Amino acid sequence: MAGVMLACSTALAFLPDVPAESRDSSLGGAMRNLSADFWRVIWSRKGILCSILCIVPVGTGAASAVLTQADVAAQWGAGGGTVELVQGLLGGVLSMAGCLVGGYGCNLWGPRRAYVAYGLVMAAVACAMAFLPLTERVYIGGSVAYSFTTGLTYAAFTAFVLDAIGAGNAATKYNGFASLSNTPIWYMGLVLAAVYTRFGTRNMLVTEAACAVAGVLVVGLAVGISRYHRRVVITA
- Is 31 part of any domain? no
The DSSP letter of residue 151 is H
- Is 227 part of any domain? no
- Identity of the residue numbered 211: C
The DSSP letter of residue 110 is -
Say how far apart CA 157 and CA 115 lie, in whole Å: 6
Average pLDDT of the chain to the nearest whole number: 84
pLDDT of residue 14: 85
Average pLDDT over residues 79-95: 88
172 has a pLDDT exceeding 60: yes
- Is 83 part of any domain? yes
- Is 205 part of any domain? yes
- Is 127 part of any domain? yes
22 has a pLDDT exceeding 60: no
Angle between helices 170-180 and 27-42 (to 10 degrees): 50
Return the minimum-mean-pLDDT range out of 14-18, 67-71, 81-85, 197-201.
14-18
Q: Which residue has the higher pLDDT, 177 or 208?
A: 208
- Is 53 part of any domain? no
25 has a pLDDT exceeding 70: no
Question: What's the CATH number where 73 sits?
Answer: 1.20.1250.20
Say how far apart CA 215 and CA 210 lie, in whole Å: 9
Put simply, whether the predicted model's pTM sits higher than 0.85 gets the answer no
- The structural domain count of the chain equals 1
- Is 228 part of any domain? no
- Is 233 part of any domain? no
The domain containing residue 109 runs over which residues? 59-211
